[in-house]
Amino acid sequence: MSKEYEYRNKKPDSRLADLVESFWMLRLPTDHDKEIVVLPDGRIDLFFTISATQTFHITLSGLETHADQVTLEAGTLMFAISFKLLATEYILENTVSNILDYAKYLPDDYWGFEEADLDDFDLFCSKAEARLLTLLPSEIDPRKQKLFENIYSSDGALTVQELSEKAFWSSRQINRYFNKQFGISLKSYCNILRFRASFHHIREGKLFPSENFTDQSHFIREVKKLSGVSPKELSKNKNDRFIQFSFSDPE
């Protein structure tokens, strides 16, 4: 766990497990801005943020397909809800293909949240959870539910054909759905999940995970493509600049 950030991560109510990955908070208590690199992690994030120079605002971030360098302002406090992809259709009731590698501002009173809700992370989680439970759909398309169960449980390691067969849904229809709903192909999304799943190996200094990659060159190529650096440089995480890499496991 990085000493530069105050960070907490909490799992949602089990009833939300298909749609919500986690609630989390990040605070940068230093008196100076920090340059960070945001890595693709396969999540859709709803951010509630305040900083020394910016008033309270709410943003929705689409999927990231490459590393993005940004400046985190001194004193930034950020609470977030990290969604699984099904939530875009069944909770947010919208596509996110138009915000691929991008984020958009939402109304400052979205879902009834306000700046005071960032005073207490546990209370924020309770409020968010209560709100999300009211938005739960009565049913989810079983093909989509099965598809995402296998995508997440395999950390993106299954092929498109294998996923298609398990969900009883043609790969052509799946890719049409992915591109329309999320802005990328199923294979590209699986590559992101596989990359993210390699973080714990890399953090432990295992720069050649045997699982889910064909060989070492394939592993290095995929890590460079999505992080912009080699696995060795990523493992060093100099100055904690690769922000997701600095995070601990959920509580």
Same domain, 133 and 204: no
Same domain, 13 and 48: yes
Q: Which residues pair with 7 in a beta bridge?
A: 26
Q: Which residues pair with 69 in a beta bridge?
A: 37
Residue 16 lies in a domain: yes
Domain boundary among 115, 138, 161: 138
Dihedral (CA of 225, 186, 105, 29) sign: negative
Same domain, 70 and 151: no
Residue 248 lies in a domain: no
Residue 127 lies in a domain: yes
Please report, for residues 90, 102, 226, 227, 239, the alpha-carbon distance to residue 66 in angstroms, rounded to integers and kept in the order given: 26, 11, 5, 6, 20
DSSP code per residue over 48-98: EEE-SSS--EEEEE----S-EEEEEPTT-EEEEEEEPTHHHHHTS-S--GG
| Distance in Å from the first CA to the final CA of the chain | 13
Same domain, 184 and 123: no
Residue 25, helix vs strand vs coil: strand
Count structural domains, the chain.
Answer: 2
Residue 70 lies in a domain: yes
Same domain, 66 and 78: yes
Domain boundary among 87, 108, 138: 138
Q: Which residues pair with 67 in a beta bridge?
A: none
Same domain, 48 and 160: no
Reading the chain (251 residues) residue by residue, the pLDDT tens digits are 456 788 999 999 999 999 999 999 999 887 888 899 999 999 999 999 998 777 899 999 999 999 999 999 989 999 999 999 999 999 999 999 999 999 999 999 999 999 999 999 999 999 999 999 999 999 999 999 999 999 999 999 999 999 999 999 999 999 999 999 999 999 999 999 999 988 888 888 877 765 667 677 888 888 999 999 998 999 888 888 888 876 745 44
Residue 245 lies in a domain: no
Same domain, 148 and 85: no
Token pair of 173 as six digits:
């229809």
249: Cα separation from own chain's centroid: 14
